[in-house]
Amino acid sequence: MRRLCFVALLFVLLALPSNARADVAPPLYPPGSNPQPGVEVTQVRMVAETVIIEVLKDIEPRSLGDAHVTADFTMHNLGTIDESMAARFPISVNDGRWEYPEINNLLIQVNGKQVQHRRVTYPDYRYSDDSVKKNNAEMLPWAEFDITFPAGQDVSIRVTYDLEGTGYYPATVFYYVLETGASWKESIGSADIILRLPYEANPQNVMDQETGWGGTTPGGVFQGNEVRWHFEDLEPTGWEYNMEFALIAPSAWETVLSAQKQVAKYPNDGESWGMLAKAYKLAFLSVKGYREDEGGQQLYQLSLEAYEKCLSLKPNDAQWHAGFADLLAYRAMWDVMGGTTTPEAIRALNEIHTALELAPNDTVVQEIAYSMTSLLYGGIIQNGDRYDFPWLTQTPTALPPTLEVIISTESAATLPATPAPTKEHISQVEPTRAEAPEATPTSAPQRSSPICGSAAFLPLIALTWFAWKRR
């Protein structure tokens, strides 16, 4: 019966309109790509390639970011006669809305000299010529350029262009297609793929987790601002060889870096610690639900510690108590759905209880409390203009520095294991606050930001369709 009720509640949550982290599925922007020979049989081999995807610094709010790609190829004609052809590579993709955005600022050089390219139409690169009609493949724009490969000689090709990020903020994904290089002679001798960020690359800002639009290709090595992949004798014969780079959007990570600097400058300012906690939390909640990869769990711990420091300095700030409750509730949500009432869930309820006692009419506190009725279903219940807390066995008591109420093992064992609804629900609400001033830090006015969460029905359909298309 409980499972039946949960399924019914899940259906209602998906079917009814809700505030959303993204109202509809975002468009899919085109990937970068290896060049493809313009003939069916060639003696030209791709001896080596080096591709640099340089993510650009970006502070525009909620931007998914851009990347500049520089791809260098060394080609060698293994045959005994010269080959002339029209080489090509795809420059567009169906974005899911039957529109076809193209890569930007495309330039092609052959042996150091710029060559002209033309826009032509060919079938989607995911289909071979003999399966176009069978699979009803789309005709997509390609860039085509004329090139000659002298027998027994190397020819260098450099291609540069700009890409746009795809995904749901604050997560963004860039792509690079290797499989178009499979049509050259033999294997690709060596391939170096380099992701370059405008700051240190680490597991916190490069996600080892599927985002709904892609996950970072395994095997990358972190080196300073870069993540590097190296392949030998690569034969990229299918989509599974293509590269994906799932990141925290540069604009979101710049917020983290800025908040870190602010805390270093004003270590005793609770508002600065709260802003840092919020920035970490946004990166932790960058996928549907929360990040379970190593970097995501690091961000959760950093956010938790920053909230604790914030509240040790501002113990009577209701909005920061509510923001902390929001973090804990999201962390506890999946466990609660599985029937386990965790310490994080109890702590989240204590924090929102404290916030409601401090400021019962505060809009931000009320919004977060309402969202938690879905996140911790059964643990907090709206009852008219107040909230009841069935899972709490005592009233929260302020204990510095975290204001945490420790629930005894005996009490915790008696807590009900009530399932919560799905992750498609009202999402994170957090006060929007001004940063601490450059001179003497003071608490900034506290404002409410809109409720946001995940879109429900249409994005699920769109994501399913995109996943099928990509494969």
Q: Inform me whether the pLDDT recorded for 249 exceeds 80.
A: yes
pLDDT of residue 30: 84
Q: Which amino acid is at 268?
A: N
pLDDT of residue 447: 29
DSSP 396: -
CB 191, CB 48: distance < 8 Å? yes
Residue 269, SS3 per DSSP: coil
Listed residue (38, 469, 44) closest to 239, CA to CA: 469
- Work out the pLDDT band at 459, boundaries 50, 70, 90: very low
The residue with greater pLDDT, 362 or 407, is 362
DSSP 288: S
**pLDDT digit string (tens) for 14-66?**
333 333 333 346 778 888 999 999 887 999 999 999 999 999 999 899 999 99
Q: Inform me whether the pLDDT recorded for 450 exceeds 80.
A: no
The residue with greater pLDDT, 78 or 402, is 78
Indicate the average pLDDT of the chain: 80
Percent of the chain with pLDDT over 90: 61
Torsion region of 233: left, alpha or beta (phi above 0 gives left; psi -120 to 50 gives alpha): left
- Work out the pLDDT band at 391, boundaries 50, 70, 90: very high
What backbone torsions phi and psi does residue 138 show, to the nearest 5 degrees?
-75, 150
Q: Inform me whether the pLDDT recorded for 273 exceeds 60.
A: yes
From the CB of residue 347, how many other CB atoms can be counted at a distance below 10 Å? 25
The residue with greater pLDDT, 375 or 136, is 375
Report the distance separating Cα 228 and Cα 193, nearest Å. Answer: 6
Helix (H) or strand (E) holding 229: strand 226-234
- Give the residue carrying structure tokens 């005793």: 268
From the CB of residue 373, how many other CB atoms can be counted at a distance below 10 Å? 19
pLDDT of residue 137: 60
Cα–Cα distances in Å, from 430 out to 207, 290, 311, 318, 377? 23, 16, 15, 11, 20
**pLDDT digit string (tens) for 133-187?**
445 567 888 999 999 999 999 999 999 999 999 988 999 999 999 999 999 999 9
**pLDDT digit string (tens) for 418-449?**
333 332 233 344 544 433 333 333 333 332 33
> Two tokens at 14?
């998906």
Report the distance separating Cα 20 and Cα 262, nearest Å. Answer: 30
pLDDT of residue 339: 74
CB 177, CB 53: distance < 8 Å? no
Q: Inform me whether the pLDDT recorded for 194 exceeds 90.
A: yes
pLDDT of residue 393: 64
Report the distance separating Cα 243 and Cα 183, nearest Å. Answer: 18
DSSP 218: T
pLDDT of residue 356: 97
Q: What's the mean pLDDT in 74-98?
A: 90
For 151, residues 6+ apart whose C-beta sits below 8 A from its C-beta are: 77, 79, 80, 81, 82, 83
- Give the residue carrying structure tokens 């965790």: 342
pLDDT of residue 444: 31
Q: What's the mean pLDDT in 236-258?
A: 94
- Work out the pLDDT band at 211, boundaries 50, 70, 90: confident
Q: What's the mean pLDDT in 297-312?
A: 98
> Two tokens at 108?
């092609």
Residue 83, SS3 per DSSP: strand
- Work out the pLDDT band at 210, boundaries 50, 70, 90: confident
pLDDT of residue 401: 38
Q: What's the mean pLDDT in 107-134?
A: 78
Q: Which of 97-101, 163-167, 265-269, 427-431 has the lowest mean pLDDT?
A: 427-431
- Give the residue carrying structure tokens 């709010």: 61
